[in-house]
Chains A and B, each alone.
Chain A
Amino acid sequence: MKLKLGHLFADKLNLYGDMGNVLTLKYRLEKRGYEVEIEQLNDSNFTISNYDFLFIGGGQDKEQQNVAKLLESKKSDLSKFIEDEKPMLAICGGYQLLGESYLTSDKETISGLGILNVITKAKEEKNAKNFQDRLVGNVVAELDFPLHIESSVTTLVGFENHSGRTFITDSRTSTLATVKLGFGNNDTDKKEGARYKNLFASYLHGSLLPKNPHFADEIIYLTLLAKFGKAPELKKIDDVIEIRAHKKALTLH
């Protein structure tokens, strides 16, 4: 059984080790006997419906805007992909550009793809409490939704590094997790990431999935469910190093 994972604009949005997310999905699917093909989708010459899962990472502001332009022609296909409950993971810059808009520090509004009901603002007012230019550091957050798979941990761990502050604008979009350490989406609401159907968006690097094997498996579960139309049985695999790395990250500050 073969699965196709599409890595969107891997050449332009690949700044913080986000490649690890795709590697993790591949590794964990192969351990369960699936054949996996990763395709890097670096121009506009691809068909979104050919893929079972999509990933988009973070990059520099300039690259993000280029990618948003290149993706514009794929907007309705991508929208259908998400409405069909196929899973997608977007990290940092990828998260921001899937949103409705980005308000720069010069009060200029750059349109996003509008796939996800969030807006991002360059930074909070200078007189805001605990003002910081960029939100940088380790993050520990408790997942806001129950998992389909069995797991001994229910936290997400990672590292954030962003100047944009993101806010959810629509009640159909939920958050990923509640922040225990760090900032997450913005300086104020202690929430991290966004979820609409099976589109997961997060600010966490690290990479995110290697140290959060339960979250990786949840995405795998949803990918198989969307592809084959029935709940998959996920075989347990050796996670000793993954869980130790996760638990170590829980102790960071």
Chain B
Amino acid sequence: MKRFLANLTAKSSRFLIEKLKIGSGSAFPGRVALAIDPMFIASYNKSFNSGRFNFFITGTNGKTTSSGILANIIKVATNKSPISNAFGANLYYGIASELVNSTNINCELSSNDFVFEVDEAAFRSVAKDLKPKAVILTNIFRDQLDRFGEINATQKLIESGIKAIGQGKTKIFLNANDEKIAQFEFLLDDNFEKIFYRVDNVEISFKEESLHKNEHHEAMFTASLVKRTVKGSFIKLYFKDESIDVFLPIAGDFNIYNACAAAVAAFHYGISFNDIKAGIESYECAFGRGEKIIYDNKELNIFLIKNPAGCTEVINFVSQFDSSIVLIAINDNYADGRDVSWLWDAQFEKLACKGIKFVCSGSRAYDIALRLKYAGVSIEDIEVKEELIASIKDLVVKSKKDENLFVLPTYTALLEINSSSLKS
């Protein structure tokens, strides 16, 4: 009864937010529901565990893309979309909101399959409430240390979350290329089934390479890069003597890891290689993860940047193109990380001396301008315009026809773009 009331009130609140246009309010219905029924999420534990698939995905980078690909693979394999927080509302309230969105007035869920990406900090509380059958771990990088203090703290948050799931054989999917993730082999006892996946020929900037990468490789689910293109990557997935060629329609080497994480989980739950291929190939990327916006007949390529490792991967991608204009928008709100020190750990040096023109924007525009200057970019090629949307429009107007336009926003800058007149 309490849950019914919580759900009903939360639904009305969402309706009101949408009518009154007071922000996107993605976490607000969840707040309302939990205020009325603190056990709101936990009350779905049974439904959550009655379906064939219930996945949690956590880690520093790649949560949104890997959960998006996995949800799409499940949709292809079952002809029905699983419940998934595709828009990245991945904190405790956000998960509650997703449950509100996915139920009818009688609290009946639209599906019994789930793919939830969960923020590292919220992971323990949500895992305790819903007790997932499978957890996919992507990677642990330095991210927003003003939130967690230290990298090891992130590993501990995830560890305590997994241990909160408790009894039963929960499957844990581990990225063998990332030492901080591979260590879970020893942090977790036999109550957890540990399954490794890896990418065998693409390195991304994991701090220390894991020793597990080359162990038992015949038995490890693997992705290999075959060919990079602007539109995406040709990859091969293989496990034992089975393999398949797949086109991953989002560019960037880091997305091969995301596709592999999604594929290994789907495969272990009995989805065929053919369905996995179809799910990956028909995936449409989430906003800000390589999505394109067409404005005034020009194409803007949007890549979210939020920490040094992810940012360096985006830099590697952008640096492959000649004659580009790159707009970098740095905000320092809580959701971006208040500390902009991380800009000094991302390898902007790779963008210097390539004839790229830069526009620096956002509330910390001068910090990124300074970073570029000390990375070796000539100051004539650095323009600073703090007001974001105006600077993007100006960039589009001034750009030449054959120039590639890249926009690299932090999280709240991305939200600003998303709700602006650029997206219509």
Contact = CB atoms under 8 A, between A and B. Distances in A.
Interface in B120-164: 142, 145-146, 149-152
B150 A241 contact: no
A245 B344 contact: no
Contact of A17 (B152, B345, B366): B345
Given A163-B149, A207-B344, A27 B374 contact: yes
Contact of B341 (A207, A240, A241): A207
Contacts of A16: 145, 339, 341-342
Given A15-B150, A19-B344, A24-B374, 15 more contacts: A16-B341, A17-B308, A17-B341, A17-B342, A18-B341, A18-B344, A159-B340, A206-B341, A207-B341, A207-B344, A241-B379, A241-B382, A245-B367, A245-B369, A248-B364
* Tier of interface size on chain A: 20 to 34
Contacts of B17: none
A248 B150 CA distance: 27
B374 A17 contact: no
A47 B340 CA distance: 34
Contact of A210 (B142, B345, B371): B371
B151 A15 contact: yes
B374 A245 contact: no
Contacts of B308: 17
Contact of A241 (B338, B339, B364, B369): B369
B66 to A, nearest CB: 26
A248 B345 contact: no
B373 interface: yes
Contact of B344 (A60, A210, A248): A210
Contacts of A24: 374
B367 A134 contact: no
A161 B338 CA distance: 11
A148 interface: no
* Tier of interface size on chain B: 20 to 34
Contacts of B345: 14, 17, 19
A142 to B, nearest CB: 21
Interface string B305-325: 000100000000000000000
A10 B142 CA distance: 16
B366 A245 contact: yes
Given A161-B149, A245-B366, A17 B373 contact: no
Contacts of A14: 345
B5 interface: no
Interface string A7-43: 0000000111111100110010000000000000000
B384 interface: yes
Contacts of B392: none
Interface in A120-171: 134, 136-138, 159, 161, 163
Interface of A is mostly: mixed
A172 interface: no
A191 interface: no
B117 to A, nearest CB: 26
Nearest to B149: A134
Given A161-B145, A161-B146, A241-B373, A205 B366 contact: no
5 nearest A-B residue pairs (beta carbon): A17-B344, A17-B341, A20-B344, A245-B366, A205-B341
A205 B343 CA distance: 11
A159 B339 contact: yes
A244 interface: yes
B331 to A, nearest CB: 12
Given A19-B345, A241-B384, A205 B367 contact: no
B352 interface: no
A134 B151 CA distance: 15
Interface in B238-284: none
Contacts of A245: 366-367, 369-370
7 contacts: A16-B342, A62-B152, A159-B146, A159-B339, A163-B149, A238-B379, A242-B370
B146 A136 contact: yes
Contact of B366 (A137, A163, A241): A241
Given A137-B338, A205-B339, A241-B366, A61 B150 contact: yes
Given A15-B151, A19-B345, A210 B370 contact: yes
A131 to B, nearest CB: 16
Contacts of A60: 150-152
A19 B375 CA distance: 11
A211 interface: yes
A245 B371 CA distance: 10
A169 B83 CA distance: 59
Nearest to B369: A241
Interface string B348-388: 00000000000000001011011101100001001010000
A236 to B, nearest CB: 15
Contacts of A238: 379
B341 A159 contact: yes
Contacts of B151: 15, 60
Give the one of B151, B341, B369 with max A CB within 10 A: B341
B205 to A, nearest CB: 13
Give the one of B308, B339, B371 with max A CB within 10 A: B339
B373 to A, nearest CB: 6
Contacts of A242: 370
A159 B364 CA distance: 13
